[in-house]
Amino acid sequence: MTDAPPSALLADQSAYTEAVQLALDAAAAYYGDGTSTLDDDAYDRLVRGIQAYEAEHPEQVLPSSPTGKVAGGAVVGDVPHTVPMLSLDNVFSAEKLVDWAASLERRLGRPVTAWSVEPKLDGLAIAARYRDGRLAQLVTRGDGTKGEDVSHAIGTIVGLPARLAEPVTVELRGEVMMTTSQFEAACAKRQAHDGTTFANPRSAAAGTLRAQDRPYVCELTFFGYGALPAPDDASEQAARLRELPHSEVMAWVAGQGVQTTAVTDVGGIVATTLEQVQERIEQIAAKRAELAFGIDGIVIKCDLAADQAQAGFSSRAPRWAIAYKLPATEKITKLLGVEWNVGRSGIIAPRAVLEPVEIDGSTITYATLHNASDIGRRGLMLGDSVVVYKAGDVIPRVEAPVVHLRTGKEEPIPIPQVCPLCGDAIDASQERWRCVRGRACRVIASIGYAAGRDQLDIEGLAEKRIRQMLDAGLIADFADLFFLTREQVLGLERMGETSTDNLLAAIERAKAQPLSRVFCALGVRGTGRAMSRRIAKHFGSMDAIRAADAEAIEAVPGLGSGKAPVVVTELVGLSDLIDKLIRAGVNMTHPNWTPPAAPDAEAKADPDAEASDTSKGPLAGMSVVVTGAMSGALEALTRNQMNELIERAGGRSSSSVSAKTSLLVAGENAGSKRAKAETLGVHIVTPDNFAAQISAFL
């Protein structure tokens, strides 16, 4: 975890006044209709800059300043809260968390023995009022003392039942948000209605919650984080709720049929030390990119009601709780241009050129736009303010334009009518456009990919050498490499006898590569190194792969129905290349594979059985993940080679840790995958221990 990002620096009173107004406008827009001129990170920086200026110039503090106020001083709604609905103060590092906890314990005069640790959900806070167990009213946070009645949304919010399990009168507080799937569905509905999309799930949820006149309905999700009896409720049930630890209150809430984060991988826990708190923070942060909903931090609270009561409240926040903010994963920036790049297989892919913006510790200047259809669906224009998203190791992507920030100077994005590389026609029959020349459009890249270390591993075949061979007419594709003669290679510029012999030897060794690498070298759309290994292992031979129809291809684990027809079509188009490889003597079978004895025997075979004997290896039935830097006997292996090794030993390689993971091989700097494995109780071994376990396959 890192310290807080720098705040905006305000040079003088004029800049301070302008900053206060900008913050007020942004808060009013967000809490009004879910839009804002600033993203969360920019707003936080602005407010910290205002706070810093006010600390230096207390005599200049404006009454309208957003500091010290719930919802930044935005006033929305006129429904009074029974108990103030306050915000949380923030910290941005482990050191600041320790300082906050020490200050709280000094206030209490004793150590805190129980901390509640929960994810901070990135949505809109609401109070759900139940009377005799029936949902009667929904109220937004507003300015903390009063909010807006949004009871019209009752019935559209998953996780918020119309009736509780018990006929109690209680106010449940929680967060309304959109999950990833709900956001996609909402964008599709809005796109069909007016041709635009929502900027992000948070603003979509805020706007949807308040919308009463839309011709379409968007589903929302609720996660509860607290329960409050009415202040004048003297019943035994109310007294019990007031005295229960927070963790037990949340268990009661879940028991009423209300959704809490207990149903997720990041549910709340109770920690007894700050070390345990920090460990849980790291675990939740590591899971962030995999969650189906947004979080922007972790909430740490005193779990015991007595500690909360003694600590009390400030004017805007409880003193017994703090939000540990995580780095932003999305920002708003400008779309300056679009580049159209052609991949090695002829795929034409647009890339957004952005005004540089820092997200999660790295400066982003480019982001994926997927395809031309995606540009149209999102309604993007040159000059747009756009939301750029990045989480974990995911490639940055443009989410949507921020339509309310348009100035009228935006321009349509030019869509190419011919291949931007060679000028030939474009095959636009599928969402991912392709040059009609396919691999021939970027033949150098295609041959270079096939010869790469994780494919055929032909050492010494640089791009310059490939170009020489193409110019001399010696090759037209990578299969032609296997028919080169010594005299032909010697005839190339700067190719002596030693370099020629070394290159030809590398080409000869490539003939013995396993089927998975040969298939990967083909560059079939919808497949990569991992999928090529699965296909090779599933079918056992190139003949079986070529004979398979879409239904048979679809049976390969992880491939799916959408890609299967593409793979079949690609293989038909690659028939001449594959035939040439076969004539050259290139290996076309998976290691240890033997042909089936007869059609009848094949028909009777177990349909789930693999076409190899690796099921008897030391990793049989195991899902294995590799992370960090390898050492010892594994030090020289690439990640692809590690995955091949796992599968030779009978296991299944995976890139992500989950509850189904059997083993994690953790090298130096293992990072978040190790933390997640520890949380899930996955067995963890060092590279040396793993090498010893599968030594027979090294």
* Same domain, residue pair 269 and 388: no
pLDDT beyond 90 at 276: yes
CA distance 389 to 367: 9
Q: Residue 592: left if φ>0, alpha if ψ -120 to 50, beta else—which one?
A: left
Residue 135 amino acid letter: L
Closest C-alpha to 197, from 223, 218, 176 = 218
Domain contains 426: no
User: For 199-226, what is the mean pLDDT?
Assistant: 88
Domain contains 334: yes
Return the exposure string of 458-467: e unless at least 16 CB atoms fall within 10 Å of the residue's CB, then b.
beebeeebbe
* Same domain, residue pair 380 and 399: yes
pLDDT beyond 70 at 53: yes
User: For 599-620, what is the mean pLDDT?
Assistant: 48
Answer with the residue of higher pLDDT: 200 or 300.
300
pLDDT beyond 60 at 358: yes
* Same domain, residue pair 169 and 299: yes
* Same domain, residue pair 108 and 28: no
User: For 663-669, what is the mean pLDDT?
Assistant: 90
CA distances from 375 to 141, 352, 384, 403 (A): 36, 10, 12, 14
Q: Residue 196: left if φ>0, alpha if ψ -120 to 50, beta else—which one?
A: beta
User: For 633-655, what is the mean pLDDT?
Assistant: 85
User: For 125-132, what is the mean pLDDT?
Assistant: 94
Round the average pLDDT of the chain to a whole number and report it: 86
Mark whether 120 is an active-site residue.
yes
By mean pLDDT, which of 46-55, 123-132, 184-193 is the weakest? Answer: 46-55
Per-residue confidence band for 140, with pLDDT thresholds at 50, 70 and 90: very high
User: For 126-139, what is the mean pLDDT?
Assistant: 94
pLDDT beyond 70 at 422: yes
Per-residue confidence band for 607, with pLDDT thresholds at 50, 70 and 90: very low
Percent of the chain with pLDDT strictly greater than 90: 47
User: For 222-229, what is the mean pLDDT?
Assistant: 95
User: For 296-318, what is the mean pLDDT?
Assistant: 93
* Same domain, residue pair 311 and 344: no
Instruction: Note the pLDDT of residue 612.
Output: 38
Q: How many helices (H) and strands (E) does the chain have?
A: 24, 25
Q: Of the listed 120, 146, 325, 676, which one is catalytic? A: 120
Answer with the residue of higher pLDDT: 437 or 350.
350
**Do 320 and 302 form a contact (C-beta atoms < 8 A)?**
yes
* Same domain, residue pair 320 and 344: no
Site of tokens 């969402």 = 431
* Same domain, residue pair 105 and 156: yes
Domain contains 606: no
pLDDT (tens digit per residue) in 454-466:
899 999 898 899 9
Instruction: Note the pLDDT of residue 673.
Output: 83
Q: Residue 195: left if φ>0, alpha if ψ -120 to 50, beta else—which one?
A: left
* E-assigned strand segments in 380-517: 381-382, 385-389, 397-401, 411-412, 426-427, 434-435
Domain final residue, candidates 292, 325, 358: 325
Q: What is the dihedral of CA 393, 398, 403, 407, to 10 degrees?
A: 110
Instruction: Note the pLDDT of residue 345.
Output: 79
CATH number for the domain including 461? 1.10.150.20
Domain final residue, candidates 382, 415, 448: 415
* Same domain, residue pair 269 and 345: no
Percent of the chain with pLDDT strictly greater than 70: 91
* Same domain, residue pair 294 and 196: yes
pLDDT beyond 80 at 199: no
* Same domain, residue pair 343 and 312: no
* Same domain, residue pair 487 and 625: no
Which residues does 299 contact at the CB level (< 8 Å), separation at least 6?
Answer: 88, 116, 117, 118, 119, 120, 225, 321, 322, 323, 324
Most confident of 196-200, 232-236, 547-551: 547-551
* Same domain, residue pair 305 and 348: no
CA distances from 488 to 34, 132, 372, 586 (A): 68, 90, 43, 21
CATH number for the domain including 22? 1.10.287.610
Domain that holds residue 321: 79-325
Per-residue confidence band for 193, with pLDDT thresholds at 50, 70 and 90: confident
Domain final residue, candidates 383, 415, 447: 415
Domain contains 357: yes
Per-residue confidence band for 396, with pLDDT thresholds at 50, 70 and 90: confident
Instruction: Note the pLDDT of residue 246.
Output: 96
How many domains, in total, are found in the chain?
A: 5
By mean pLDDT, which of 30-44, 293-307, 353-367, 603-617 is the weakest? Answer: 603-617
Domain contains 599: no
Domain contains 557: no
Domain contains 278: yes
Domain contains 565: no
Closest C-alpha to 46, from 31, 62, 25 = 25
pLDDT beyond 80 at 18: no
pLDDT beyond 80 at 7: no
CATH number for the domain including 408? 2.40.50.140
Tell me how far apart the terminal alpha carbons of the chain are, to the nearest angstrom: 38
